[in-house]
Amino acid sequence: MKKIAVIAFLMMESLALLGQGFPDWLDEDFRRMKYPENLYFTGFVYGEISAGRPLQEVTEQMKTEAQADLSRKIRLQITTSSKNEISAVNSGGQYRENESFSNSATTESSVEVVGIKTETYYDPKTRFVYAFANVNRYELIGYHKGNLSMTLAQAEGMLQTAQSLEAAGEKPKARQQCEATKSLLAKVRTSQDLLLVIDPNITPDDLQLTRTETVHNRLTQMLAQLAQAVLVYLESVESNFSAPATVVSNRLKAALAEKGCSFIDDPVQADFRIKITATTRRHGVERGFTVSYADVAVDLLDSHKNRSVFNDEFSQKGISTSQETAGRKALEDAASIIANRISPWIN
């Protein structure tokens, strides 16, 4: 009862104040008439200054709460499942196409409300701070239509870049572009959800549904293509009689690339990680040729399972006219053996 009495007193006080040159928007009837729901979204709050709190702090709090009250009203409309019949007529007027459109979002949906105007008033007699926020519905519609077009253009550009990167064999970078495109499409959907609520005359063309669906389908196809490629990170430490070498890594990359693997420099993005150590040693002479061996250790880690799925150690023989060339031959053959042994795990 006490709370009701306080509210009633404040309403009477605000009415009395209006006649004394105080802001018109303090009056609820004025707000309803001046800022009708078909043209504006509004938020109105007030609060008393408690002991020890500065006026500026409370004023800023009321401004924030008034804007939050406005945004909350928009979110409430979005979260209410709605089904809108949208009619579109082609430019020649020859046919009419009806499209059912349903929408359901959650209160956590991010709603960007721009152009909010906020006013505050402090009554020193009651020590109450009032705040009133409003935004023109059609200014908001114009902003989100423009934002929708801009975001779609960005998504189309990123997807085009992803396709170029994929064609050039830069699959990791192509995946990054696709992930960015997915985020942009989520923003597009949010703008479309909002426009459905705030614009009663919205059409499929205004929402750019066909364009959005085209981008979505292209993205789906691109992700399917990229999913077919296995991303591999290779770490190899090789030497041929103390001389640094890349024989095994080069031969292994070539062999696995033929099976659809792509090699990347970032182990975090890899589907598989391969670790190889390879050294050579002289064994002897056979029929006038030098025999060398490559001692190899290989470990294959499945990043998705976060465990080693294959590991092995073996020695491979090489024969040539010198120990170095025999060692290189042993390393080349070892690479082929590794490719054959780990391919079933990767594919």
Domains and CATH numbers, the chain: 2-82+99-136 (3.10.129), 139-227 (1.20.58), 230-346 (3.30.160.150)
Phi, psi of 264 (to 5 degrees): -125, 165
CA distance 282 to 311: 25
More reliable by pLDDT, 169 or 191: 191
**Cβ–Cβ under 8 Å, residues 137 and 39:** yes
Nearest to 326 by CA among 285, 278, 266, 298: 285
pLDDT category at 327 given cuts 50, 70, 90 is: very high
User: Residue 141: which region, alpha, beta or left (left: phi > 0; alpha: psi -120 to 50)?
Assistant: alpha
State the chain's mean pLDDT as an integer: 83
Classify 130 as helix, strand or coil. strand
Is 111's pLDDT higher than 50? yes
| Most distant CA atoms of the chain, gap in Å | 117
- List the structure tokens of 189: 């959907």
Q: What is the pLDDT of residue 169?
A: 66
- Mean pLDDT, residues 211-215 taken together: 94
From the number of C-beta atoms within 10 Å of its C-beta (0-12, 13-18, 19+), residue 240 rates as buried
More reliable by pLDDT, 126 or 239: 239
Q: What is the pLDDT of residue 317?
A: 95
How far is the first Cα of the chain from the last one, in angstroms, to the nearest whole number?
A: 74
Residue found under tokens 């909002």: 194
Half-sphere exposure of 314 (CA within 13 A, CB side): 15
Weakest mean pLDDT among 15-29, 240-254, 265-279: 15-29
Is 170's pLDDT higher than 80? no
- Mean pLDDT, residues 242-267 taken together: 90
Strand partners, 47: 129
| Pairing status of strand 230-240 against strand 272-286 | parallel
Nearest to 135 by CA among 67, 40, 28: 40
Give the predicted TM-score (pTM) of the model.
0.54
Nearest to 328 by CA among 301, 294, 303, 304: 294
From the number of C-beta atoms within 10 Å of its C-beta (0-12, 13-18, 19+), residue 94 rates as exposed
The Cα-based distances of 216 to 139, 162, 165, 255 in angstroms read 28, 14, 18, 35
